[in-house]
Every structure is written in structure tokens, then in C-alpha cells.
Amino acid sequence: MKEEIISYVIPTYREERYIESCLKSILNQDYRGKKEIIVIDSNSPDNTREIAKNNGAKVINIRARGISKARNLGIKNANGNIIIFTEGDVILSANFTKEILKVINKEKVVGATGIGIPYGGNVLHKSIYYLLSFFIIIFTWLKLPSFSGSFTAYKKKYLQKIGGFDEKMGIAEDMDASKRLRKFGKCKIAYHALAKTSTRKLVKNGITKTVLFYVYNDLKYLLLDKKLPPTKFKVTEEL
């Protein structure tokens, strides 16, 4: 029987400060099965690609920008039947893969997400991230999964059935994918799959500006089903 491969897909742009910690957290997973790491870099002018290569990742450089484009290229190049999507500033707990697999391998489950643990910033910055996690849990209970792409796993065949991530969307493209996948099965939360995620978006752009931007656009998508085009709003210096 052919050994199952778990594919980790990481879109990057100017992540030299963070990417090594992200990759080491994947390499140090207590899951001992076969895995591959695919970094899709949008032609970063820094050392992101070199650091990724030195830490065991297959690196694909693209000129185009857009996180959906990068994720879709990752899907195309992934050899695994299960793809774990994360981001350059995320640090996965050592048991993340085992815990996410316990959930996604259940019958009729097509996707699973972990729980984000914020790092950096102050107490208020972290509190906002915990509040976001709470809303994701509530929406999932209501059978309206709105998963972030920062620490989420999907079965590849179902991603292919929906045509991957919508490249015309600049905001909420990750929520849109989990929403469209519902017709094929359940999207569940793996409560013991923890992932440290940076608060840099809030720190860099300010709480009021960032929260209002995302609340307005996410609610517009969730309640009105409005597809949101790419935006000029810079959520971080790196992005």
C-alpha cells in the first residue's frame, strides 16, 4: 500500500523574518508519515526563497501576486491527498498534523481547521484574534464554516471539484472556499490542533482600520454573498 503524503502549501511574499520558524514547526511535527512542503513565492525581493529551500521546502517562484493564485498553484503541485494550508508567519504546534488528521479523515468530512493562538502585539491585539476564533467556531456550529487559510486542511479531490480558490476575490477567498465545499461534506474544527499566528496586521495598520475593513468586507460576503475584488489595502508591510 502506497504511503500517504501530507502536503503543506505556504504562499509567501517577503517573509524572510518569519518563514524559517514556520518551516521548522512543520519539520518538527510528531506526525511521522511522509510529508512535503511547497512554498509558492510571489517573487520576493528578500531571502524568503533561499531560507525556504534551506529548510526542506520545494519552492516555486511566480511573478503574479495574489494569495488565491499561489494556493491554486500549490494544489496543482501537491502530491498529497490532504493539503494543509498555512502562512509564512504561522507556527504549528507539534501535534497539529496528527490532530487535524483525526478530524479530516472522518467520514463525510472534507475540510478541517485548527485553533489560532495569537502572538506579538498587546493584550487587545490578542483579544481580537481570540474573538475571531470564537466567531469561526460559532459559524461552524451553525453549519456555515468560514475558515481562515492560515491553518486549514482540505481533501485535494474536493478542492479540485470546486476549481480551487476564486482568483477574482481579493478578500474572503478562504471563507468562500469552505463555503463552496459544504455541498460535498462537512467542514469541522480540530480543537486540539493549535497554531500560533502573528498579530502583525493589527499592529502594523492599527486596530480600528484593520477591524473595520475586515468586519465590513467579511459580513458583506457572508450576508450578501458579494464577491470581493482585489483591494489596495495593505494588511502588512510584507503583504
Place of cell 474536493: 158
E-strand spans in the chain?
A: 5-12, 34-41, 58-61, 82-86, 91-92, 109-119, 151-155, 186-198
Cell, residue 1: 500500500
CA distance 162 to 25: 30
188: which strand partners?
112
**pTM score, whole prediction:** 0.89
Mean pLDDT for 203-213 is: 76
Q: In the sheet where 109-119 sits, what is the strand order? A: 58-61, 34-41, 5-12, 82-86, 151-155, 109-119, 186-198, 91-92
State yes or no: pLDDT of 143 exceeds 80: yes
- Per-residue pLDDT of 31-43, as tens digits, reads 989 999 999 999 9
pLDDT of residue 142: 84
| Greatest distance between any 2 Cα atoms in the chain | 53
Mean pLDDT for 40-66 is: 95
Q: Considering only CA atoms, which of 195, 228, 192, 224 is closest in space to residue 213?
A: 228
Q: Considering only CA atoms, which of 135, 136, 114, 111 is closest in space to residue 186?
A: 111
Sign of the torsion angle spanned by Cα atoms 177, 33, 54, 60: negative
What is the number of other CB atoms lying within 10 angstroms of the CB of residue 191? 11
Please give the mean pLDDT across all residues of the chain: 88
CA dihedral 220, 226, 231, 236 (to 10 degrees): 50
Q: Is 233 exposed, middle or buried (0-12, 13-18, 19+ CB in 10 A)?
A: middle
Non-local (6+) Cβ contacts of 155 within 8 A are 81, 82, 83, 104, 110, 111
Name the percent of the chain lying above pLDDT 90: 64
Q: Residue 236: which pLDDT band, with cuts at 50, 70 and 90?
A: very low
All structural domains of the chain, each given as residue ranges with its CATH number in brackets, are 5-224 (3.90.550.10)
pLDDT of residue 237: 35
What SS3 state is found at 147?
A: coil
Place of cell 521548522: 24
- Find the range with the poorest average confidence among 21-30, 51-60, 130-139, 219-228: 219-228
Q: Is there a contact between 188 and 109 (Cβ–Cβ < 8 Å)? A: yes
Mean pLDDT for 151-158 is: 97
